A and B are shown apart, each in its own frame.
Chain A
Amino acid sequence: MSTSATVGAAAADSPAPRQARSAAQAWRRLTRQPATLFGLLVVVALVVCAVFAPLIAPYAPEATDFDAAMSGPTAAHPLGTDDLGRDLLSQLIFGARTALLVAGGSVLVAMLIGVPLGLLLGYKGGWYDRLGARGLDIADALPGLTVGFVVIAVLGRGILVLILAIGLIFCMNFARLTRAITLGERKKLYVESARVSGLTHRQVIFGQVLPNLAGPLAVQGAVFLGSAIKVEAALSFLGLGLGEDQPSWGGMLGVAAEHQADHPWMAIAPGVAIVLTVLAFNLLGDGINDALSGRRRTPYRRTRLMGRAVPQRGEQDPTLDSVPAQESASAADADTLLDVRDLRIVADKPDGSSVVLVDGVSLSVRRGEIMGLLGESGSGKSMLAKAILGLLPAGVRVDSGSVTLDGRTLTGCTENELRSVRGTGLGAVFQNPQANLSPVHTVGRQLVDVIRAHGTTSTKQARARAAELLELVGVDDVGRRLDQYPYQFSGGMAQRVAIAIALAGEPDLLILDEATSALDVTTQSQVLDLVLDLRERLDMGIINITHDLGVAAETCDRVAVLFRGDLLEVDEVHTLFDHPSHPYTAALLAAHPTADHDVDRLPTIPDDLVVDGALTGK
């Protein structure tokens, strides 16, 4: 415990008020979690029992009452008595003393050994660290309890030996944790700057590193207090803990084990006491961890349905009248593949309010057409794509409007209904090439699974088709490539594989969600050429989402410009680039850097165009 006192003092010394504020904030968060409060309550009750045991316990723990031996629960002995007639309730209460003393002492010992060791390794680095880390790995081969046995074998029984034995079991964990955090902290800039400004090693460790260690150590300390209580109980149960005359929960269970045939009830109370105590410390540890990391246990779930029924246009918010150009419904002719009508996407906030991410967007894509979705980060272009696919993240939903693919309305479809459209009607390629593929499956396996989802049942046929698809997207040496893992593919090649996966069901509409943004320029143009080629050969409609004006200009037939959830304009690519009708589009185009003329400063979107996140008309 004195370790955390040192840490606390060091934190108070540090000039940053952030520490104090975040500690207060952490405490408030802590007390708002019911499970943590429960843990805290149990621990407090336990400490009270341990400290005031002689006042609370009805009998002295060693007082024998031979007349009442093995009595079972009675009015005089609520939990019954053992073979010597000792009161089990009193033993249980005094047992809390032993448990807390041994657990507290051993965690202290573990910290006193582990923390300085970890600091040394992490702070010194180099050979110290390499040897030390290896040493920690080697120690892994010795199970904790074996270490405990050995210490007791060598030093004999007694409370100090018990504390040392359990402390040694956990000291490696503290060393490992401290080392990892110190390594991390040491690399951070502020430690560097602290060194430059003339602080001593001592000041850096106590002022900078230890305060950052305090939280993780508190978490680990709480959890190991629970583990130490389990170990203490196990060793006492085996008769290796304290003497017979010292009441302990494990020792009580040892006696109970001898009488399990005739008096099975004896095992219940000490066992429940251990479970409650360990549970309390674990919950406390989890609670501290959550409070420090500021994590909230919020539901994490994808909305199953794509939103409500479509309201009539007239029902909509009148303020939407000012909304700029919408693609007129007449654009939806016979050739129309995808038709998005008045689509409104909102994100629900925990307080019940919601934020509009996409506000009443309408647009359509024809067969064989490439539609570009252009906009800066946060303009809602990716949300639009995710909504079309029914892949909106948790907490985000379609509020109103409709998505129709080839005459079939997708909004309101269940997951199952959507599945029949995905792959065959819609295909998608997302941004990060490596993350788009499962890292532990071969590329062939992933392609085969997708192909088999669309009716091919024989693995052999599916594999042949997978090879065909890889060839189609321009991957060489297909036979070998099929058995390789994603990490063996370059970004561009991995993205070709992702395209092959998207094409496996022969979709009518392919959505490229920033699919080439993470690639270098040469690879990007190769992949875009492939997309143009595929469009010709497969007669697909394509939505190409990008923030790159060059990509939009080169590949798209028509372009839609989005800004903060609003669709500003949709037009033929040349018209839009040559004669933008909206000032934002014009500003966006002007901000595109070109090598043609020499400028001192890169042009940006003028401030007066955007006020408080809204566009100010002309």
Chain B
Amino acid sequence: MGKLVAYRLAFAVPQLIIISIVVFSLTYLVPGSPAAAMLGTAATPESIAQVEAQLGLDRPPVERFVEWFGALLTGDLGTSFRSGTPVADMLVERVPATLSIVFGGMLVALLIGVGAGVFTGTRPGTPADRIVTGGTVLGLAIPEFWLGLILTTVFAVQLGWIPIIAWTPLTEDPLGWAVGIILPSIALGLTGGAIIARQTRAAMVTSMASPFTDTLTAAGVPRRVQVMRYGVKNSLVPVLASAGVTFAILIGVSFVVEKVFALPGLGTLMLSSVISQDFAVVQGVVMVTAVLVIAVNLLLDIGYGLINPQARPQ
């Protein structure tokens, strides 16, 4: 197990360095001068020169990168051009809402996906399978933000079961927090659930038709045990193998879903920063997103090693 962790860490470090180089070089990709873009119509040659100096664009890129990367390691991501606030502080404020709905969404996706996959995978070809599998095909086509819009309209606006703007930090009120993330998590998790359902169904069908199931059947093991213990665990292998990708997708989609639910997460911060071309904040959001994805992938790979013994390095 220790070997697996070390091996994964050895991959994560260069991955982070390369991503930070890409993130750093973003400002150099802006056509013309990023300072001019940021200042917009108010730009004068003097103000542009001033902002360029503030951004460090008047110095050689390598020197600036070393400085930027060094600051990054100490948790300094620069300051927002628009608000003058340290980017790190803004991110710390925003991460909880994003993580709350992304983990909520993962949970919903796993519950729906594994549930539907086990249900359909154990009765392939039956009418029940066709209906549920058809439902997953439809689920894949539904845009998460639209589902969120429908959910708020029905449950918050029309029925009034849940406040329209419901975000409460976990540390303030755990129950209020849970209520606040229910609808965004459902909106976010449905598509992921449809993907996982398809994977689980395929793995379940294979598992139930495999020789080890015949061995267990012939030895008199009840079908319930075959399905719930052997079928489910074997089906979780491909699901866990791709859970890291699912998590990355959900983080991306959460940026859109946040807007529907007016959540104070990374997405709404990203959106306003993209519109105002506040590059330090955009860079900060991309960096923290990458770190989250890499960290979760690391954990998932270790979890995958636990469930699938052959994935552990020998």
A residues near B, CB below 8 A? 137-138, 140-146, 149-150, 152-156, 226, 230, 233-234, 237-240, 253, 256-257, 260-261, 264, 267, 270-271, 274-279, 282-283, 286, 298-301, 389, 391, 415, 419-420, 422-424, 426-432, 435-441, 446, 449-450, 453-454, 485, 487, 498, 501-502, 504-505, 511
Chain B residues with CB below 8 A from A429, complex form: 215
Nearest Cβ distance between residue A417 and chain B, in whole angstroms?
12
The contact string, 1 if C-beta is below 8 Å from chain A, for chain B 111-126, is 0000000000001111
Chain B residues with CB below 8 A from A276, complex form: 141
Provide a sorted-by-A list of 12 A–B residue pairs whose CB atoms are within 8 angstroms.
Answer: A146-B286, A149-B271, A150-B26, A152-B274, A230-B143, A260-B149, A271-B150, A279-B138, A282-B137, A301-B123, A439-B234, A502-B215
What separation, in Å, do the CA atoms of A132 and B221 have in the docked complex?
A: 47
What separation, in Å, do the CA atoms of A439 and B203 have in the docked complex?
A: 13
A141 engages B290 (CB within 8 Å)? yes
B215 engages A430 (CB within 8 Å)? yes
Chain B residues with CB below 8 A from A439, complex form: 212, 234, 308-310
The contact string, 1 if C-beta is below 8 Å from chain A, for chain B 264-294, is 0000001101110101001001100110011
Chain A residues with CB below 8 A from B215, complex form: 428-430, 436-437, 498, 501-502
What separation, in Å, do the CA atoms of A429 and B216 have in the docked complex?
A: 10
B: interface residue count bin:
35 or more
B279 engages A153 (CB within 8 Å)? yes
Contacts A143-B289, A155-B31, A423-B220; is A437 near B124 (CB within 8 Å)? no
Chain A residues with CB below 8 A from B237, complex form: 440
B252 engages A450 (CB within 8 Å)? no
New A-B pairs, 17, CB < 8 Å, besides A277-B141, A453-B222, A511-B218 = A141-B15, A142-B19, A142-B289, A143-B293, A144-B248, A145-B253, A146-B289, A234-B143, A239-B271, A260-B153, A300-B124, A301-B123, A423-B219, A430-B214, A430-B215, A439-B234, A449-B229
The contact string, 1 if C-beta is below 8 Å from chain A, for chain B 60-94, is 00000000000000000000000000000000000
Which chain A residue lies CB-closest to B273? A153
B293 engages A423 (CB within 8 Å)? no
Which chain B residue lies CB-closest to A226? B141
Which chain B residue lies CB-closest to A235? B256
A145 engages B211 (CB within 8 Å)? no
Chain A residues with CB below 8 A from B233, complex form: 438, 440-441
Chain B residues with CB below 8 A from A256, complex form: 149
Which chain B residue lies CB-closest to A144? B252
B141 engages A238 (CB within 8 Å)? no
Chain B residues with CB below 8 A from A441, complex form: 229-230, 233
What separation, in Å, do the CA atoms of A282 and B134 have in the docked complex?
A: 12
Partner of A143 from the list B145, B251, B310 (CB cut-off 8 Å) is B251
What separation, in Å, do the CA atoms of A487 and B205 have in the docked complex?
A: 22
Most buried by A among B126, B275, B309, B310: B309
Nearest Cβ distance between residue A234 and chain B, in whole angstroms?
4
Contacts A143-B251, A435-B212, A440-B308; is A391 near B218 (CB within 8 Å)? yes
What separation, in Å, do the CA atoms of A149 and B271 have in the docked complex?
A: 8
A154 engages B30 (CB within 8 Å)? yes
B214 engages A267 (CB within 8 Å)? no
What separation, in Å, do the CA atoms of A298 and B126 have in the docked complex?
A: 10
Tell me whether B157 is interfacial, beta carbon within 8 Å: yes
What separation, in Å, do the CA atoms of A454 and B307 have in the docked complex?
A: 27
Chain B residues with CB below 8 A from A430, complex form: 211, 214-215
Chain A residues with CB below 8 A from B10, complex form: none
Partner of B211 from the list A274, A432, A511 (CB cut-off 8 Å) is A432
What separation, in Å, do the CA atoms of A144 and B211 have in the docked complex?
A: 40
What separation, in Å, do the CA atoms of A421 and B221 have in the docked complex?
A: 11
The binding surface of chain B is classed by DSSP as: helix
What separation, in Å, do the CA atoms of A142 and B287 have in the docked complex?
A: 9
Contacts A253-B149, A271-B146, A275-B143; is A234 near B234 (CB within 8 Å)? no
B152 engages A234 (CB within 8 Å)? no
What separation, in Å, do the CA atoms of A253 and B152 have in the docked complex?
A: 14
B residues near A, CB below 8 A? 11, 14-15, 18-19, 26, 29-31, 37, 123-126, 137-138, 140-146, 149-150, 152-153, 157-158, 205, 209-212, 214-223, 225, 229-230, 233-234, 237, 244-245, 248-249, 251-253, 255-256, 259-260, 270-271, 273-275, 277, 279, 282, 285-286, 289-290, 293-294, 297, 307-310
What separation, in Å, do the CA atoms of A240 and B270 have in the docked complex?
A: 11
B157 engages A261 (CB within 8 Å)? yes
What separation, in Å, do the CA atoms of A253 and B142 have in the docked complex?
A: 13
A435 engages B225 (CB within 8 Å)? no
Most buried by A among B144, B212, B214, B293: B212
Partner of A141 from the list B37, B223, B229, B248 (CB cut-off 8 Å) is B248
A264 engages B221 (CB within 8 Å)? no
Contacts A141-B293, A149-B270, A440-B308; is A453 near B225 (CB within 8 Å)? yes
Contacts A150-B286, A440-B237, A440-B308; is A453 near B219 (CB within 8 Å)? yes
Nearest Cβ distance between residue A501 and chain B, in whole angstroms?
5
A437 engages B212 (CB within 8 Å)? yes
A501 engages B145 (CB within 8 Å)? no
B140 engages A282 (CB within 8 Å)? yes
Nearest Cβ distance between residue B295 and chain A, in whole angstroms?
10
A427 engages B252 (CB within 8 Å)? no
Contacts A298-B125, A428-B215; is A267 near B220 (CB within 8 Å)? no
A142 engages B286 (CB within 8 Å)? yes
Nearest Cβ distance between residue B211 and chain A, in whole angstroms?
4
Among all A-B residue pairs, the 5 with the closest Cβ atoms:
A423-B220, A299-B125, A143-B252, A145-B252, A278-B141
What separation, in Å, do the CA atoms of A446 and B234 have in the docked complex?
A: 13
B141 engages A137 (CB within 8 Å)? no
B219 engages A450 (CB within 8 Å)? yes
Most buried by B among A142, A261, A428: A142
A436 engages B252 (CB within 8 Å)? no
Chain A residues with CB below 8 A from B26, complex form: 150, 153-154
What separation, in Å, do the CA atoms of A502 and B219 have in the docked complex?
A: 5
Nearest Cβ distance between residue A70 and chain B, in whole angstroms?
16
Which chain A residue lies CB-closest to B215? A436
A239 engages B124 (CB within 8 Å)? no
Most buried by A among B18, B214, B307, B308: B214
Chain B residues with CB below 8 A from A422, complex form: 217-220
Chain B residues with CB below 8 A from A435, complex form: 210-212
Chain A residues with CB below 8 A from B217, complex form: 389, 391, 422
Partner of B255 from the list A145, A264, A271 (CB cut-off 8 Å) is A145
B309 engages A487 (CB within 8 Å)? yes
What separation, in Å, do the CA atoms of A437 and B210 have in the docked complex?
A: 9
Contacts A154-B29, A450-B216; is A440 near B307 (CB within 8 Å)? yes
Chain A residues with CB below 8 A from B308, complex form: 439-440
What separation, in Å, do the CA atoms of A502 and B279 have in the docked complex?
A: 66
Which chain A residue lies CB-closest to B236? A440
Chain A residues with CB below 8 A from B209, complex form: 300
What separation, in Å, do the CA atoms of A582 and B245 have in the docked complex?
A: 63
Contacts A150-B26, A300-B125; is A449 near B225 (CB within 8 Å)? yes
What separation, in Å, do the CA atoms of A238 and B143 have in the docked complex?
A: 13
What separation, in Å, do the CA atoms of A570 and B307 have in the docked complex?
A: 49
Chain B residues with CB below 8 A from A149, complex form: 255, 270-271, 274, 282
What separation, in Å, do the CA atoms of A299 and B125 have in the docked complex?
A: 4
Chain B residues with CB below 8 A from A144, complex form: 248-249, 252
What separation, in Å, do the CA atoms of A150 and B234 have in the docked complex?
A: 39
Chain B residues with CB below 8 A from A436, complex form: 211-212, 214-215
Most buried by A among B146, B205, B209, B293: B146
Nearest Cβ distance between residue A302 and chain B, in whole angstroms?
8
B274 engages A233 (CB within 8 Å)? no
B277 engages A153 (CB within 8 Å)? yes
Chain A residues with CB below 8 A from B125, complex form: 298-301
B220 engages A424 (CB within 8 Å)? yes
Most buried by A among B149, B245, B270, B289: B149
What separation, in Å, do the CA atoms of A176 and B125 have in the docked complex?
A: 32
Partner of B143 from the list A233, A299, A432, A504 (CB cut-off 8 Å) is A233
A454 engages B149 (CB within 8 Å)? no
